[in-house]
Structure 1
């Protein structure tokens, strides 16, 4: 329940934060902020992600007591990376007299990456130990700091770099304020054990990092391409749709991943590799059952959301870019939270790199081919094509061949059919007045989809709810 509460809080705050910053900064500065933030996320992925992934895969309550060198190596690697990023930020600031604003954005991106990396590390430790209350406290502290610091800085300075610094500071402070709760008992161990752990971390995490870095650089390059073709204001229009959609899917997926992947790791650790694979297969159905209807819902309510909540300067662009980017955002979420765990549980992560490279090539070719006739819209479509191509390659590797994963195809088909029924039900109300369309789409779509999931126990969601909150009654 604590993880679910944290997910709800995070989703609401992230959506409000994106809209408020877009309103205060305006399209051009929001475009600069989005570019800088994409750089910070790319830095975090490149430098910290392999350590965060190693924490979720190799750290646990048992490991905390029995293999303390795992945590020791994680802490040392994080500290060394932070020192390096501080140096990079100072070098960027030193170059400001020569290159101006880009140096400030670069320095702010490095500083923001430090805060983001530390917060993600703390969240990963809580996740690996199944300490939901601690994770909730961390998220609440972060959001209590993020909203006033970032919006207040935007209001006072109208400066994208300053807002990025405020965001990084809020996450750094959140991790700092709860640091004692994450402390491990001091247990003596040989330094050689830490070196062994580092080798294990790198072999497991670096291929995932390489793939994720490609997925971060694709939107980053596309935003720069849009800015080059049509200016920073157009990049702001593009970025708002991408950021809101990405936050929605990222928050939902991360909330699921917080529980599902750790359950699979625990199953593999306690009952063997086959049990871990079976749990990952069940997880795929659960992820699809929540991500796919969410994508249909975002498409359905986009016009109403634009009319009600999107700042005036972005109207007319938000729905357009959302429609173009949505297939790619859906594909990326399914890769990150449904397909990647298949290879993570097997500790065979190289196929993720191959899929990422295919996606990057498709994105590049598509952007070159479509930017001329369609302008920024062609670049948005190319991004979706790249993510969909990567997803198909990864799915082919996971679901074909000698080691293919056996999926619950009945559940997957049920999700697709229930989503189609939900979409058909909300189409007649999508064009109503926005203040009527938004609640009508949410209530009608949620009711239809929820009823079908409950009646047919799609992805065993009904069974899970009854097992958690009440006694299951056998169906007659």
Structure 2
């Protein structure tokens, strides 16, 4: 089931990710670093808002849907709560403008933050519902529609002279085009307060409230560097750093997220239906598949960074991006491992409050290191700070899980085989890393994939030889 659903999510999320790659190439050629920085700043603040006020509700839907199903109580409780949070954030935004408004924190700025935050959050709610229903194709339609229309509208508005504001409007419009039909079909455009379940929202709050702080601190690790760069350096530096981060996470972390989109609901169902032992065995399989996909992607992205930057980034962004990419790739790999391999143990055992400790430590370290390293090393210092923070988060979370829950069912043998296969691939690609151009990136990627598969077959990673022989026999 895992491989089938992962393949479906690879298609349904992979295509939007390809659009994301294309959009970065277009935006960095149409926008200046300062304009991209202004866009990235609004995006970062909206993301922080999502983590603080909306994500607990989305994660609760994903966790408890296998228990309750699509009942009127679930739908109305989630919907009414979401609208209530929207009203509260709008009131807080007005107070912010009244007491702290200035040239930068303007009504236009705050309006974009609110609209983007609401749009992102409701889109994520619909995607989470599709995941909980184990419907990857539904997920794919929403994700693809949002990515494609957001890119088309955003690019068009930039072209007609609206700059970063046009990009934001296009992205917001893309969100609502994608979720209009799911909203109408599943959530309806009316409110039924009689179906609002207070006991259910209390259960959601007990599960999700600790996650709110955890997610906020995770977002601080992810986004504080951009805000601190904006404060200590320039908006152009923010733009260069942000676009490099966006480009890199469209690769390694997105691949890990795709695997988790399929893996997490299956592990939850195993826990509900078959118990702890079956769920832990599923987690072990999930971790193997995550590394099998992500580790070669990370190695390939680092070694082929010159050609990737040359093809996908505007000239004003390239030289700095080459210095940042290796650090950001490692950070993305560590982030994905923590979120999708370590933290799943907290979710399985419903001990999400324990997640707070590692991210508190990591967030504090990240902020301190940003203020220390950025003045000394520029935006490269921010990337180093992020890697150190994620490493601390992984180690501390692993120790906490081991002693407070259970040892993580880590696939040591498969991990070593995946590492060896990746090293063989990277060693091969190193000889052709300096060849530039679209044709060469195709040749490099195909070469890397073939060498990695052959190495995996040689080392029998994840029992791949038996799987191949089984498929051959089935066809014969």
Question: Unpaired segments of 5 or more residues in structure 1?
Answer: none
Name the CA shift for 1:144/1:327 in 2 (closer, same or farther; >3 Å): closer
Name the CA shift for 1:122/1:20 in 2 (closer, same or farther; >3 Å): same
Cross-structure match for 2:3 = none
The question of 1:129 aligning with 2:133 is answered yes
Q: How far is 1:364 from its partner?
A: 2.6
Name the CA shift for 1:115/1:471 in 2 (closer, same or farther; >3 Å): farther
Whether contact under 8 Å (1:370, 1:378) holds in the other structure is yes
The question of 1:142 aligning with 2:146 is answered yes
Q: How far is 1:131 from its partner?
A: 1.8
Q: How far is 1:466 from its partner?
A: 7.9
Cross-structure match for 1:39 = 45
Q: How far is 1:460 from its partner?
A: 5.1
Whether contact under 8 Å (1:11, 1:247) holds in the other structure is yes
Whether contact under 8 Å (1:109, 1:164) holds in the other structure is no
Whether contact under 8 Å (1:127, 1:259) holds in the other structure is yes
Cross-structure match for 1:79 = 83
Q: How far is 1:222 from its partner?
A: 1.4
RMSD: 2.8
Match of 1:343 among 346, 367, 388: 346
Deviations 1:180-223 (A, max 9, x none): 44359x9x9986x8222112212222222322211222343212
Cross-structure match for 1:427 = 430
The question of 1:16 aligning with 2:22 is answered yes
Name the CA shift for 1:357/1:267 in 2 (closer, same or farther; >3 Å): same
C-alpha distance in structure 1 between counterparts of 2:170 and 2:265, whole Å: 31
Deviations 1:82-134 (A, max 9, x none): 233344456667789x5123323332111101111111111111111112232
Q: How far is 1:155 from its partner?
A: 2.4
Cross-structure match for 2:412 = 409
Tell me: higher relative CO, structure 1 or 2? Use CA pairs within 8 A at least 6 residues apart: 2
The question of 1:308 aligning with 2:311 is answered yes
Whether contact under 8 Å (1:241, 1:322) holds in the other structure is yes
Whether contact under 8 Å (1:85, 1:111) holds in the other structure is no
C-alpha distance in structure 2 between counterparts of 1:102 and 1:472, whole Å: 63
Question: Unpaired segments of 5 or more residues in structure 2?
Answer: 1-6
Task: Tell me the secondary structure at the aligned position of residue 432 of structure 1.
Answer: coil
Name the CA shift for 1:396/1:26 in 2 (closer, same or farther; >3 Å): same
Name the CA shift for 1:281/1:228 in 2 (closer, same or farther; >3 Å): same
C-alpha distance in structure 1 between counterparts of 2:199 and 2:460, whole Å: 45
Task: Tell me the secondary structure at the aligned position of residue 439 of structure 1.
Answer: helix
Task: Tell me the secondary structure at the aligned position of residue 59 of structure 1.
Answer: helix
C-alpha distance in structure 1 between counterparts of 2:469 and 2:34, whole Å: 50
Whether contact under 8 Å (1:89, 1:108) holds in the other structure is no
C-alpha distance in structure 1 between counterparts of 2:159 and 2:267, whole Å: 44
Name the CA shift for 1:417/1:2 in 2 (closer, same or farther; >3 Å): closer
Cross-structure match for 1:170 = 174
Task: Tell me the secondary structure at the aligned position of residue 382 of structure 2.
Answer: helix
Map residues 266-281 of structure 1 onto 2, 5 A cutoff.
266-281=269-284
Q: How far is 1:394 from its partner?
A: 1.3
Name the CA shift for 1:438/1:81 in 2 (closer, same or farther; >3 Å): same
C-alpha distance in structure 1 between counterparts of 2:435 and 2:254, whole Å: 28
Name the CA shift for 1:240/1:331 in 2 (closer, same or farther; >3 Å): same
Cross-structure match for 2:124 = 120
Q: How far is 1:438 from its partner?
A: 2.0
Cross-structure match for 2:261 = 258
Task: Tell me the secondary structure at the aligned position of residue 178 of structure 1.
Answer: helix
Task: Tell me the secondary structure at the aligned position of residue 31 of structure 2.
Answer: helix
Count how many residue pairs are aligned between Structure 1 and Structure 2. 467
283-292 vs 150-159, which moves further? 150-159
